[in-house]
Structure 1
Amino acid sequence: MSMPYAESIAVPEDHDFRSRGRVPGNNGIWVGIFCVLVEFLLLFIVYFVAKAHHPEAFESGPDKLVTLAGVTITMLLLTSGYCMVKAVESIRRDASVTAFRWIALAFLLGCGYPLVKYFEIRWNIAHGIDGETGIFYTVYYYLTLNHLVHVFWGLLGLGWVALRTSRGSYSSRDYSGLEAAAVYWHTTDVIWLVIFPFFYVLR
């Protein structure tokens, strides 16, 4: 007796089928991301208000900053974000060793940001550029250092998920913690992509 047609169809148990309609990460991380986005929205409003009242300062301000530092930070964060994409992709295939390597690389690249920022600030101060030099630089330091704080939080998250991945805590069936760290890390990337042209490019 032949098997009914409906029963003869094998349903693939791939990740895409199981995760269809699922929100990446977890609810907690999205609440945190919402708060971060609101915070920076307010800071960007401050930027535009200050620029409207002091257009000359914001037109000449970027000339004294080291554009190469901003470009380097941008490349580090984007490359690090790409590594986290590959890490999530790997854990979906249950390739935990590969995922760990991608997370470790993302962490190392991410650590390059505070290192570059440290030398950039040293160069700025050596050339008389600090928070009291003018309104442009006050806003610049406030926004970029605030962003750096969130990057530190992101690096702690990457370190934590790297440790858990090395212990086999994630699999293709349960990797929301890893995905949450990746989503937060991508958020810091997106915010920096707004900050970078505001201070290093636009006049």
Structure 2
Amino acid sequence: MKTFDLSLYLVLDPDLCRTHSMVETAMAAIAGGATIVQLRDKYVGTEGLIRIGRELMDAMAGTDVPLIVNDDIDAAIAIGADGLHVGQDDIPSQTARERLGRDKIIGLSIESETVARQVDSAIVDYVGIGPVFATPTKPDHKPAIGFDGLAGLIKIAKLPSVAIGGLKSNHVDPVFAAGADGLAVVSAICGQPDPEAAAHKIATAITATKSAFAR
């Protein structure tokens, strides 16, 4: 059975992870409270992703934190990763499901109402919605949707959702108020002097916000 927690979703960035490697950053973030790690590197190719991904899988063994590979299904399969995240211009989610099987996690990026209405919950496990804000870590992104746009797409998609796009610790409240199950961060952890402390700050804010909403 697939179980995952979208609360604090770390997207690794190779450019930002220069002082601390992606493996070091991931492990520090997990220690600080990250609940999912996504390997995203558009420059190293499939073989490079496999090499880094296997290092991550070895390091993360026993943490119960899933490793998701961005876009590259061949790498995800070779790594034995827990899942795959695809965008609108990547491999179709139906094809990904057929190749990965039922036990793997599949996430899909959503940037518009049209796409949100077309998501098949029998195929996709969660959606990544955004960008909430413009972000330099993904320069080819669609226009920012803000928190109102985030809330609207969450209602349409009707799937577990993680907000993404320029999010920091001070955005935890509005992200959860919009109905998201978590927030995905890149520079808020990657490239920080102390990735564990950065993750802990966000995780603590998430716990407080969830507690407040549960009252």
Which of the five TM-score ranges fits, normalised by the shorter chain?
under 0.3
RCO higher in structure (CA 8 A, sep ≥6) = 1
The TM-score, its normalising length taken from structure 2, stands at 0.23
- Which of the pair is proportionally richer in strand? 2
The TM-score, its normalising length taken from structure 1, stands at 0.24
